[in-house]
Structure 1
Amino acid sequence: MRVERRDDGNLVFGYLDTATADLSGASDTVLVRARAGDEGYAADMRPSRFGALSGCDISGEQEIRVMPRPSPAAPRPGHLLGLLVSGRGELEQDGRRAVLAPGDFVLYTGARPFRLELGSSHRYFLLSLDAGTAGQLARADGAVTANAELPRSPSGRVLAAVLGELAERAHGFGPLARRDMGEHVSAILRTLLREAGGAGAASGTGSSGVLERILVYVDEHLAEDLSPGTIAAAHHISVRHLHALFRESGVTVSDHVRRRLERIRRDLVDPSLAHLPAYVLAARRGLGEASHFSRVFRAEFGSSPRAVREQARARPDP
């Protein structure tokens, strides 16, 4: 974290965008004002990385107000997911105000004005979202930013519990586990956003039912040609309709297939599965044709399944 003292407060950056040393190029710049007059800002910040997600565990004793101050030269600020671990807090954005109790989370974006207030003796766990989830949030954020009801929904309760555990145990995970946890958080959040947008119908009818059948079809035909035309024809819809369904869900066919391949890759480097051949692990995940599996795996990861397994044996995950 870097702090630059100003007359109107403290410019803080480098807590999520840790690679940027220059204030003018940081995408995570905020203005922090301590409520006790001209007091400077100090906090314990522990950055972390969970695959595509950047995180920071922030602990402070000051009562503060936080507002976005992005530099015109910096990349556009992204969407954020914050969990109040302890203390009290309040977030205001888009005309809504969410009062936070310990265990509550909130969604917001640094691209528009917001006001985050944290009381004395607070702990706040913050994640910047991956591009796919942020894109889905951008389409729905008129209803979900500073929405105090999200943590009370079924998916919201699950997400809050996962975030709480992640905040407590983040620095005990190895690199692969960190990536997995980031994917889990993103997947639960996308489910929550679909529910908030009214896209999830329990009956399986309507567009969500069609998408569910398409995803099952993709899982069952991973070893075959999965072009948009083939998938659309199998479900008697147009290619345009197919793309619209996936846009609404915040994922693409390629994203879905990539996740399946990522699960196989994790199986390959799992020591408890070292006795099983790669083609057996692939078949368990729906890729039964060994030559096709090897081809798509190499295209995705740049290495053969055998090479990935050998590299894992040489450099075990701590």
Structure 2
Amino acid sequence: MPVERRDEGNLVFGYLDTATADRAGAFDTVLVRARAGDSGYAADMRSSRFGALNGCDISGEQEIRVMPRPSPAARRPGHLLGLLVSGRGELEQDGRRAELAPGDFVLYTGARPFRLELGTSHRYFVLSLDEGTAGRVATAAGAVTANAELPRSPSGRVLSAVVGELAERAHGFGPLARREMGEHVSAILGTLLREAGGAGVSSDRGSSGAVDRVLAYIDDHLAEDLSPGTIAAAHHISVRHLHAMFRESGVTVSDHVRRRRLERIRRDLVDPALAHLPAYVLAARRGLGEASHFSRVFRAEFGLSPRAVREQARAGA
């Protein structure tokens, strides 16, 4: 853990950006100030990697305040997910403040000012998100940075549990399992963002069984014709009723189908068993046969090209 003492505090870097030895090029540089009376900063930091996600488990006894200090020479800092494992904490960004109890997580970015405070005897697990997931956080509907309500939503509770287990067992996974765990975290976070923005299909009403059957049918027939008329006919309902099932949650049938196809294609792209197949073949297998259209909508959804996703997977492996 490289630390540079300064009059204003301690510059810390290399805990997430482990590939960069020079602070000038590191994307994770922060200024850490210990409470008055402490001569310096010391903590136990254990870095790990989960495919395209970099993580660090930080344990310390000092009461500290952390602020970003990005280097102009480094690539633009992305979004972070921080989980408080033990102790107390607080994050402030974009005019919002989230108090953290053990098991709570927050989303924030090093590209804008933030203030993270951790109390004595703290343990904090932080993940730097991949570019595609970070792009989805940046463009998410509603306020997600320093949002204290996210961990209390249904998807947020699942995400808290998964990231908490990841913190506990990070070094017990093999390379393939670590990559897959990173993909699971990104997928759950994507679900959370859609839920927070009201862009998920709701099944709270008595028609939840019918909705579940429609969603399962779509997942099982991604390579086939999934026009609203085809889906409605397969379930013996009207197209109007089908649209009503989706409308309440702010997503259309076609949007849901497109998103599910893209998510499956992304999963196929990072599957080592399918590495010999071109991206356009994988897209055609999931019902997106036009190569130029596929590349465009894939980049719009994930912020990365299909080739970049594969390159990240290879680097992570």
TM-score normalised according to structure 1 size? 0.70
Distance, in Å, in 1 between the alignment partners of 2:141 and 2:56 is 22
1:82 aligns with 2:90: no
- Aligned identity (percent) is 73
Kept after mapping to 1: 8 A contact 2:80/2:110: yes
Match of 2:265 in 1: 257
Q: 1:141 and 1:96, CA in 2 relative to 1: closer, same or farther beyond 3 A?
A: farther
Distance, in Å, in 2 between the alignment partners of 1:60 and 1:192 is 30
| 1:130 to partner: Cα distance | 1.3
SS in 2 for 1:66: strand
1:114 aligns with 2:114: yes
SS in 2 for 1:137: helix
Q: 1:264 and 1:176, CA in 2 relative to 1: closer, same or farther beyond 3 A?
A: closer
Match of 1:207 in 2: none
Match of 2:132 in 1: 132
Kept after mapping to 2: 8 A contact 1:63/1:117: yes
Give the letter for the 1:33 counterpart.
R
Give the letter for the 2:26 counterpart.
A
SS in 1 for 2:139: helix
Q: 1:216 and 1:133, CA in 2 relative to 1: closer, same or farther beyond 3 A?
A: farther
Q: 1:193 and 1:126, CA in 2 relative to 1: closer, same or farther beyond 3 A?
A: same
Kept after mapping to 2: 8 A contact 1:36/1:63: no
Distance, in Å, in 2 between the alignment partners of 1:41 and 1:140 is 35
Distance, in Å, in 2 between the alignment partners of 1:26 and 1:215 is 44
Give the letter for the 2:265 counterpart.
V
Structure 2, unpaired ranges of 5+: 205-212, 232-238, 240-250, 276-283, 287-305, 308-316
Kept after mapping to 1: 8 A contact 2:222/2:261: no
**Superposition pairs for residues 211-230 of structure 1, below 5 Å?**
220-222=221-223
1:167 aligns with 2:167: yes
Measured against aligned partners, the alpha-carbon deviations of 1:71-127 in whole angstroms (never above 9, x if no partner) come to 111111000000000010000001111100111111101111000000011000000
Distance, in Å, in 1 between the alignment partners of 2:156 and 2:2 is 33
Equivalences, count: 257
Kept after mapping to 1: 8 A contact 2:11/2:31: yes
Q: 1:71 and 1:202, CA in 2 relative to 1: closer, same or farther beyond 3 A?
A: same
**Superposition pairs for residues 163-312 of structure 1, below 5 Å?**
163-203=163-203, 220-222=221-223, 245=255, 253-260=261-268, 262=270, 265=273
| 1:132 to partner: Cα distance | 1.7
SS in 2 for 1:181: helix
Measured against aligned partners, the alpha-carbon deviations of 1:8-36 in whole angstroms (never above 9, x if no partner) come to 00011000000011111110000000013
RMSD: 3.7
Distance, in Å, in 2 between the alignment partners of 1:218 and 1:171 is 33
Match of 1:306 in 2: none
Kept after mapping to 1: 8 A contact 2:32/2:41: yes
Match of 1:34 in 2: 34
Distance, in Å, in 1 between the alignment partners of 2:115 and 2:37 is 18
**Larger RCO (alpha carbons 8 Å, 6+ apart):** 2
SS in 2 for 1:31: strand
Match of 1:209 in 2: none
Match of 2:13 in 1: 13
TM-score normalised according to structure 2 size? 0.71
Large movers: runs of 4+ above 4 Å: 212-219, 230-236, 251-255, 261-264
